Structures are given as C-alpha cells and as structure tokens.
Amino acid sequence: MDKILVTGGLGFIGSHTVVELQNEGYEVVIIDDLSNSSEKVLDGITAITGKTPIFEKLDLKNKEGVEAFFAKHNDVKGVIHFAASKAVGESVQEPLLYYENNIGTLVYILKELKKLPSAAFIFSSSCTVYGQADELPITENAPVKQAESPYGNTKQIGEEVIKDTCKVVPTLKAIALRYFNPIGAHESVEIGELPIGVPQNLVPFITQTAIGLRQELSVFGDDYPTPDGTCIRDYIHVVDLAKAHVVALGRLLRNKNKANYETFNLGTGKGSSVLEVVKSFEKVSGKKLNYKIVGRREGDIISAYADTNKANDELGWKTKLTLDEAMDSAWKWEQKVRAND
C-alpha cells in the first residue's frame, strides 16, 4: 500500500488522520518536532489501529533534514501537511516565526516533492481565509479576505505557494482543505486534543472549566446580530475531518481530481452559537457550566459556516457525527487526560 508522509502527525488533527489512514491500509510515516505534541500519542494510535507508524522527530525548518528524509523515503506517494504554528495571538507578536514555520517549511517540502515522479499533497488550510464572508453558507468561491493575523495570512500565502507550484510542476497534485472548527476526540478516547497552557479555543476551554482547571468560561459577547447574540461557527468532529483527508488523498492518488490544485471546505454546514455549544456540553455531561458573558474578543467574526456541497458531491464525503457526539467525546477525553495527570 502507498507510503504517506504525515507532517505534524502527532498533533490533534494529524493523529486522528493517521488513525484513519492506517485503518485504510496506508503505510504512514510521521514527521513531528514535538513542539506542540507528545511521543505518547504514538501509543494511542497503536492502541486504536494495532499498528505503530514510523516516526521521525524532525524540525521541518532543518532544510538538510528534510532533504535527507526524502532521500531515504523516496517512495513516498503523498504528503498530508499539518505541521504548522496555529496560535493567532502569538502570530501577531512573532510574525517572522509564523512565516518561517508555516511558509518556509512548506517551500522545503514542495521542493522535495518536485523531484519525485509523482506526488499528492494535502494542505491544512482554514476557513479563516474567508474572514467575515458576505454570504452564508460559505462556498469555495467566496472571496479570500484580507487576513486578520499573520497566522491567517500564512494560510492564504500557503495556498498561493501551492497553487503557483502546481501550475509549473505537472507531477504535483494538491488539495487545500479549508477547515471550519475542529473539535472532539476519537471515540476510543486514546487520542484527542492536548492544548498547551490556557486554551484559546472554545471547546477545550469548556472542558477544562468543567473539570476545574479554569474557573469560568468567558463568553465573548452576546450582542452580535445572531439569534442568541453569540457568535456562530461550524463545529466539525475531528474524526469526520480526518476521514475527509483520506478521501481527498485517494482522489489525487487515483487521478480523480478535476484540476492539479483544488480547494474544499470541510464543515458540517450547520452553524452553532457559543451558547448552543455550552448547552450541548451541559446536556451530554450532565454538568452545569460556569460561564459569564464578557465583552467581544478582538478580531472575532460574527458568523461562519460551510456550504458543504462541493465536498459532498465531488469528494463523496459527508460528516456523520453530531455536535453532541463531539462534545461527549471531548468531555470523556478531558476526564481521561486529567485522571492520568
């Protein structure tokens, strides 16, 4: 079976994708620098799939290291590239770190893929490229808006770098997947999200509050023009999201793509407000969540949810898991992590 490189394969979305790839019989090699992940994640992957992927600890900023990796693994057929920095606030403080980590490393990998007889490349992009879209749900044709942060900009630039490269390298085929808001954990509770420090994202903040690590959740604004006044997002179960990567990869490997560079939105198509997420959590956990309404967070958009038609029709992929199932798995994962602390 084809050998696939997964960069950042020990991270949140990466690890769930490695599980789905192995379940489909792919041979997986992971590169991860462990800057925001742990080698223990390999045990979780092994527990679920019965197979341990090959793991190479490597910082992708090490150009010679990347070259040496591809010299050794010149039979790689595809790359799913998750490795990147993702803290929006940090990216404002340290823009060069973000451009180096997210763009520099992308260039090194593409340079190596150019040398291969053929290569499939899947890129982790984000719905953040749309900013506050003028029309909802958001289709892939919605215009890319001025990025709010260097992090967001690295996703936009990353897409451009890949698109330009695909134009001149006919042996390279790529898909950029624009994720909406990934949440939840694998149902086995062997792998999940492991945020370092105070979580910036809603769901880990909710579960950490419920377990007693945080005092209360601050809901950022209830005066938005939405039904309950809180912001709306499209929360997608990480397992559904992981499966989409395997489908997108298969599309490229089997030459089913319509162009050498394509983009797909990955979401459920359903928007949920912050308070709806809180309610879902309270329902599945049976716990009351301590929260208070505070002022708006700078840079937050009001509402974003995906038009899923292109992914549904062309990838033949659809989300199966619900918000409640995602919140239930996130809560079970939080309890397991803290029990082991």
224 assigned to active site: no
The token pair that represents 310 in the structure block: 């292109």
Considering the rule CB under 6 A, would residue 8 count as an interface residue with ligand UD1? no
Considering the rule CB under 6 A, would residue 42 count as an interface residue with ligand UD1? no
Considering the rule CB under 6 A, would residue 129 count as an interface residue with ligand UD1? no
Complex with ligand UD1: residue 54 or 294, whichever CB lies closer: 294
From the list 35, 299, 313, 336, which residue makes contact with ligand UD1 (rule: CB under 6 A)?
299
Distances (CA, A) of 36 to 58, 62, 246: 13, 17, 23
User: Number of helices and strands (H, E) in the chain?
Assistant: 12, 13
Considering the rule CB under 6 A, would residue 128 count as an interface residue with ligand UD1? yes
Q: Cα separation of 258 and 8, whole Å?
A: 28
Is the Cβ–Cβ distance between 27 and 3 less than 8 Å? yes
CB 260 → ligand UD1: shortest distance, Å?
A: 26
Considering the rule CB under 6 A, would residue 326 count as an interface residue with ligand UD1? no
Considering the rule CB under 6 A, would residue 188 count as an interface residue with ligand UD1? no
From the list 188, 201, 322, 335, which residue makes contact with ligand UD1 (rule: CB under 6 A)?
201
Considering the rule CB under 6 A, would residue 23 count as an interface residue with ligand UD1? no
Q: For tokens 């419920």, what's the residue? A: 210
From the list 30, 231, 239, 327, which residue makes contact with ligand UD1 (rule: CB under 6 A)?
231
CA quadruple 36, 42, 47, 51: dihedral sign: positive
CB 325 → ligand UD1: shortest distance, Å?
A: 18
Q: Ramachandran region of residue 76, left (φ > 0), alpha (ψ -120 to 50) or beta?
A: beta
Q: Cα separation of 334 and 189, whole Å?
A: 9
Q: Cα separation of 207 and 185, whole Å?
A: 12
Ordered alpha helix ranges (H), the chain: 12-23, 41-49, 63-72, 88-93, 95-99, 105-115, 150-168, 202-210, 238-253, 274-285, 309-310, 323-339
Helix (H/G/I), strand (E/B), else coil: 306: strand
Complex with ligand UD1: residue 118 or 156, whichever CB lies closer: 156
From the list 41, 79, 133, 219, which residue makes contact with ligand UD1 (rule: CB under 6 A)?
219
Complex with ligand UD1: residue 21 or 202, whichever CB lies closer: 202
Residue length of the chain: 341
Q: Considering just the CA atoms, what is the radius of gyration of the chain in Å?
A: 19
Considering the rule CB under 6 A, would residue 330 count as an interface residue with ligand UD1? no
Considering the rule CB under 6 A, would residue 237 count as an interface residue with ligand UD1? no
Query: From residue 238 to residue 277, what is the string marking binding to ligand UD1 with x (rule CB under 6 A)?
Result: ------------------------------------x---
Considering the rule CB under 6 A, would residue 13 count as an interface residue with ligand UD1? no
Q: For tokens 């990025």, what's the residue? A: 147
Considering the rule CB under 6 A, would residue 202 count as an interface residue with ligand UD1? yes
From 26, 98, 130, 151, active-site residue: 151
Which one of the spans 49-57, 73-81, 169-177, 199-207 is the region binding ligand UD1 (CB under 6 A)? 199-207
What residues are labeled active site?
151
Which residues contact ligand UD1 (rule: CB under 6 A)? Answer: 86, 88, 126, 128, 152, 181, 200-202, 205, 217-220, 231, 233, 274, 297, 299-300
